[in-house]
């Protein structure tokens, strides 16, 4: 078996290629640019690790891994457009580097590329994979819509937020593990527990992402710090602060949210500190991480074969970028 880091390196080398034709240049070059600027590649690597739990990595799984990575990048490219983000992974986003229409169309090409990769999977496996993939793709879109809806609401609950990030972020990681396992011949029992491992790990990962948006280092994080605060996005940190702030603190928070002060981020972080949000956020992330690992423990393979998935969880949740 490969270690987690070995699979990361192997997949990065295999994926680091030109994925689209040379022409039309203004359609395909931005897509290849976006794919070339890096990323953690955690979804395809998760797919490969789940497959290797049950034997050697199959050719079908490499195709599925590429499809998952292309789909993920399609969602990121369009997400940048919807959020009007200037940076992704420390580089210019496509709509800033090129233009808005190019970003939309290049993202569409990535989505089609994902299905082209799936189409390389053997016919005997394809229907099952497509069913899972399509369900997940719809869920990701639903999560994105909820995220946009929340921007104009002031009454978003923590439960609603957790459902949104489950759909927008964590189900794709869960699906990656499930597809990899099933392509490796896993039982439904094992595949389902790997799905739940991925879902809960994905929630913890997104909580960490929201946390880093407030408390991370811009050079390591690759995105502007406080971007969510500037857009008044309903992250779990803001929701908790709105739930717990009282009296003068609550009025101060509401005033900062409606302001365009250049020090808005620092002022809202001060309110977060007053509300004890930072420690609460760490504790909530740990709860979901523990739940993820409890499902991994139930997967019926020898403990040594699961080491790479324990390492994967450590990598995602101890990062500062």
Contacts of 266 (CB under 8 A, 6+ apart): none
**Measured on CA atoms in the order 199, 151, 321, 270, is the torsion positive or negative?**
negative
pTM here is 0.92
Please state which CATH number belongs to domain 4-317: 1.10.600.10
CA atoms within 13 A on the CB side of 167: 16
Both tokens of residue 257? Answer: 């949210």
Per-residue pLDDT of 266-306, as tens digits, reads 999 999 999 999 999 999 999 999 999 999 999 999 999 99
Distance CA 57, CA 48 (A): 7
Per-residue pLDDT of 60-117, as tens digits, reads 999 999 999 999 999 999 999 998 889 898 899 999 999 999 999 999 999 999 999 9
3 state SS of 87: strand
Per-residue pLDDT of 235-254, as tens digits, reads 999 999 999 999 999 999 99
Per-residue pLDDT of 171-198, as tens digits, reads 999 999 999 999 999 999 999 999 999 9
- Residue 92 bridge partners (DSSP): 87
Distance CA 202, CA 172 (A): 8
92 phi and psi, to 5 degrees? -60, 140
CA atoms within 13 A on the CB side of 152: 4
pLDDT at residue 223 is higher than 70: no
Taking Cα atoms as reference points, which of 182, 187, 145 lies closest to residue 163?
A: 145
């Amino acid at each position: 078996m490969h270690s987690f880091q070995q699979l990361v390196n192997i997949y990065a080398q295999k994926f680091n290629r030109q994925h689209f034709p040379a022409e039309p240049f203004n359609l395909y070059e931005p897509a290849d640019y976006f794919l070339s600027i890096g990323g953690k590649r955690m979804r395809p690597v998760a797919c490969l690790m789940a497959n290797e739990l049950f034997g050697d990595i199959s050719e079908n799984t490499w195709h599925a891994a590429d499809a998952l990575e292309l789909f993920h990048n399609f969602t990121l490219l369009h997400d940048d457009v919807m959020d009007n983000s200037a940076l992704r992974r420390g580089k210019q986003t496509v709509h800033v580097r090129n233009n808005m229409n190019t970003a939309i169309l290049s993202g569409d090409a990535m989505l089609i590329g994902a299905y082209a990769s799936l189409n390389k999977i053997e016919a005997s496996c394809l229907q099952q994979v497509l069913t899972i993939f399509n369900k997940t793709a719809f869920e990701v879109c639903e999560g994105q819509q909820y995220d946009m809806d929340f921007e104009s609401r002031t009454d978003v609950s923590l439960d609603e937020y957790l459902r949104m990030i489950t759909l927008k972020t964590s189900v794709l990681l869960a699906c990656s593990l499930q597809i990899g396992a099933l392509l490796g011949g896993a039982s439904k029992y094992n595949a389902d527990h790997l799905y739940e491992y991925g879902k809960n790990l994905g929630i913890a990962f997104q909580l960490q992402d929201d946390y880093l948006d407030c408390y991370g280092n811009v050079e390591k994080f690759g995105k502007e710090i406080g971007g969510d605060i500037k857009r008044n996005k309903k992250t779990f940190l803001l929701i908790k602060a709105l739930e717990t702030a009282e009296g003068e603190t609550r009025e101060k928070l509401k005033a900062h949210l409606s302001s365009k002060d250049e020090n808005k981020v620092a002022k809202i972080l001060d309110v977060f500190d007053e509300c004890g949000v930072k420690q609460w956020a760490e504790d909530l992330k740990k709860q979901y991480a523990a739940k993820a690992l409890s499902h991994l423990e139930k997967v019926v393979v020898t403990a040594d074969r699961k080491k790479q998935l324990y390492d994967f969880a450590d990598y995602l949740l101890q990062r500062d970028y």
